């Protein structure tokens, strides 16, 4: 078909026509809201690099989740910040650790009204800020995955609905799946950060989670940005090891990876729209250079269009509010 017989603008003439043929739809059911809980006396503390994002005490977190539930957001992704850190991140798997205590309180108060997905990593809990046990200046993969399995088990015992290992150690999904199965948690899903790139877009998150590495960087375990085929290998490995959902992170700069994963693998795909994406839009729109709502909606739509089933985003509350008002 070609002009003048075919005129694509015929179906763009008004809102109803555009709506009838819209290919990608956003729904609050597919949103996950990342949250930070910290051992502290203040109810909430703002994160300077991420406007309208906060570190919460457990009490402050519970109050915030009331709004999350009211908006219909089905899940939160919970990150913990302990009062004390050490070389081996023992607070990450402590029975009374910050994530474990927060999870118990959330599930007691909200029950099935909210899904609690817990981040399984060590960077927030280690004094050196790396995602595992350091041996001779290098993250020891096989020692670390043992600890990660303990962390995951401690979260599930506290009531978490799903665990999300974000460390990028080899074999950690298998160790976690085996640990959960041995303890009869057969029905607990694992959402694996399967293709997590060593991106420049994480810095605001590291402010929020207080998890910046104290030496070196994380490129020896997070993925190299130029690599595409490697991402598919990583995803395939995690699926073979027992991941129920795989994640691509970041989302915005890696839409091609989301699309490839959607085409290649028959498994739900999550995309994490990370702190740098959030900060870019927040700070730029505050200057009046872009329209905030349009930018957020375009970002989320692009991620969904690329193939993501789940969008993890700091914009979740705004998106949910707009969807609730039917104003998208």
Q: How far apart are CA 304 and CA 302, in angstroms?
A: 5
Supply the pLDDT for residue 20: 86
Per annotation, catalytic residue among 85, 107, 249, 304: 249
Q: How far apart are CA 135 and CA 267, in angstroms?
A: 35
Domains along the chain with CATH numbers? 27-324 (3.20.20.70)
- The mean pLDDT value for 72-81 works out to 97
Query: What pLDDT, in 10s, does the model give residues 285-310?
Result: 999 999 999 999 999 999 999 999 99
Residue for token digits 């729109």? Answer: 285
Supply the pLDDT for residue 250: 98
Phi, psi of 290 (to 5 degrees): -135, 160
Q: Is the pLDDT of residue 213 over 90?
A: no
Question: In this prediction, what percent of the chain has a pLDDT beyond 70?
Answer: 100
What is the residue-wise DSSP string for 181-222? HHTT-TT--BEEEEEEB--GGGHHHHHHHT---SSS-STTTS
- Residue 6 or residue 176, greater confidence: 176
Q: Is the pLDDT of residue 217 over 90?
A: no
Supply the pLDDT for residue 219: 81
Beta-sheet strands, E only, within 39-124: 44-46, 54-56, 75-81, 115-120
Tokens of 187: 């029905």
Q: Is the pLDDT of residue 328 over 80?
A: no
Asked about 107 being catalytic, the answer comes back as: no
Supply the pLDDT for residue 5: 82
Tokens of 231: 């991402």
Of 62-76, 115-129, 300-314, the one with minimum mean pLDDT is: 115-129
Phi, psi of 138 (to 5 degrees): -130, 145
Per annotation, catalytic residue among 38, 196, 304, 317: 196
Query: What pLDDT, in 10s, does the model give residues 45-54?
Result: 999 999 999 9
Asked about 229 being catalytic, the answer comes back as: no
Contact 238, 246 (CB under 8 A): yes
CA distances for 299 relative to 17, 45, 46, 234, 237, angstroms: 23, 27, 24, 25, 29
Supply the pLDDT for residue 137: 84
Q: Is 223 helix (H, G, I), strand (E, B) or coil?
A: strand
Supply the pLDDT for residue 289: 98
Tokens of 115: 């899904």
Q: Is 264 helix (H, G, I), strand (E, B) or coil?
A: helix
């Amino acid at each position: 078909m070609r002009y003048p017989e075919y005129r694509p603008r015929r179906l763009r003439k008004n809102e109803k026509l555009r709506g009838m043929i819209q290919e990608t739809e956003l729904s609050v059911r597919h949103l996950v809201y990342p949250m930070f809980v910290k051992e502290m006396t203040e109810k909430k503390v703002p994160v300077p690099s991420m406007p309208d994002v906060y570190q919460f005490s457990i009490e402050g977190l519970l109050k915030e989740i009331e709004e999350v539930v009211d908006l219909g957001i089905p899940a939160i992704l919970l990150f913990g910040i302990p009062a004390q850190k050490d070389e081996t991140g023992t607070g990450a798997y402590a029975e009374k650790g910050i994530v474990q205590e927060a999870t118990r309180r959330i599930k007691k108060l909200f029950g099935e009204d909210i899904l609690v997905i817990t981040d399984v990593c060590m960077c927030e809990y280690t004094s050196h800020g790396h995602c595992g046990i350091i041996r001779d200046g290098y993250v020891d993969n096989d020692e670390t995955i043992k600890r990660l399995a303990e962390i995951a088990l401690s979260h599930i015992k506290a009531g978490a609905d799903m665990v999300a290992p974000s460390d990028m150690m080899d074999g950690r999904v298998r160790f976690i799946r085996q640990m959960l199965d041995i303890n009869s948690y057969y029905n607990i899903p694992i959402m694996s950060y399967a293709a997590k790139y060593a991106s420049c877009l994480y810095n605001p998150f590291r402010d929020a989670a207080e998890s910046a590495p104290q030496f070196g960087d994380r490129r020896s375990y997070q993925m190299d940005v130029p690599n595409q085929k490697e991402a598919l290998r990583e995803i395939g490995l995690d699926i073979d090891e027992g991941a129920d959902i795989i994640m691509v992170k970041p989302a915005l700069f890696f839409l091609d990876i989301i699309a490839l994963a959607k085409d290649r693998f028959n498994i739900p795909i999550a995309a994490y729209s990370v702190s740098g994406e959030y900060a870019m839009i927040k700070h730029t729109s505050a200057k009046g250079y872009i329209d905030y709502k349009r930018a957020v909606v375009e970002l989320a739509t692009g991620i969904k269009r690329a193939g993501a089933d789940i969008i993890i985003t700091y914009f979740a509350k705004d998106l949910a509010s707009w969807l609730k008002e039917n104003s998208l």
